[in-house]
Amino acid sequence: MLEYIKQWLAHRRNSNSVNLDTENLPSPKSPGDQLVSRSRLIVLDLETTGLNFSKDEVIAIGAVAIENGVIHLNDQFDLILRRPELDIRETVLIHGIGPEALTQGHETEDALLHLLEWMNGDPILAYHSAFDQRFLEKTLKNQIGYTRSHLWMDVAEMMPAFFPKAAVKGRGLDDWADAFGLENSERHHAAADAMLTAELTLIAINQASKTNVKTIKEVTEKLRYQRRLQKMHRF
């Protein structure tokens, strides 16, 4: 998959067209009666220069597709963006992406266009998805003028929603991974974190089907109910 992405990006850079064609990209899918077990889902993770939405920027994108209840290792997205102007001194020790990597990364506009084509409008999942959603939407708008809304689902909500009695030490990605015996040797690497999140997603999806939550719409409704419960518990 990575080699295909490289070829696609090289072809686009060598083409005569320099206009950003965002109008003909795949349309985002709406939550409906499509079975989760037969759907293609995008599990995504971003690396950024920091946590401040107003000033920090996306520097790497990792994603993996789940289709028909299977993680497809040949259907992944793993790119560092070419953004040499960004200051990464405060976070380089966390994600390991240094100035040289940002200088040699893929052209941001090309990478974002290919990401949108690759996602094909399919639902997006992430752990603490509000963070990734805000940063990705800001980057898409600022870099290529793309403003269409996609369906996002939060795996940090899915896990307690379908495993309310799980013995979990905390609310983080590592906590849930430990609870199910999952390992991640490259923490804070976008593609590796996306893969770990995808593994948790499959666990949640399998559990959801046992509770008769089987469609995308039913999952989103379950997550809305989970958010209401969390708000009630804060008072």
Q: Mean pLDDT of residues grouped by 10 in the chain (235 residues)?
A: 57 52 86 94 94 92 95 90 80 68 86 94 97 97 95 96 92 93 76 94 96 96 89 70
Residue 150 belongs to some domain of the structure: yes
> Would you state the pLDDT for residue 187?
61
Question: Would 24 be classed as within a structural domain?
Answer: no
Q: How far is CA 174 from CA 89, 104, 122, 137, in A?
A: 25, 31, 26, 26
CA atoms of 167 and 44, how far apart (whole Å): 26
> What pLDDT is attached to residue 83?
87
Q: How many Å apart are CA 49 and CA 59, to the nearest integer?
A: 7
- The bridge status of strand 40-48 relative to strand 124-126 is parallel
Is 27 part of a structural domain of the chain?
no
Closest CA to 13 of 5, 25, 3: 5
Give residue 99's pLDDT.
74
Please check whether residue 17 lies inside any domain of the structure.
Answer: no
In this structure, what token pair is assigned to residue 48?
A: 């950024």
Q: How many domains does the chain have?
A: 1
Element (H, E) at 94: helix 92-95
Which contiguous run of DSSP H or E holds residue 183?
none
CATH number of 108's domain? 3.30.420.10
User: In this structure, is residue 14 part of a structural domain?
Assistant: no
* 67, β-bridge pairs: 40, 70
Distance (Å, whole) CA 58 – CA 175: 25
Residue 146 lies in a domain: yes
Q: Is residue 54 part of a domain?
A: yes
93: containing domain = 2-8+34-233
- Asked whether residue 25 is assigned to any structural domain, the reply reads no
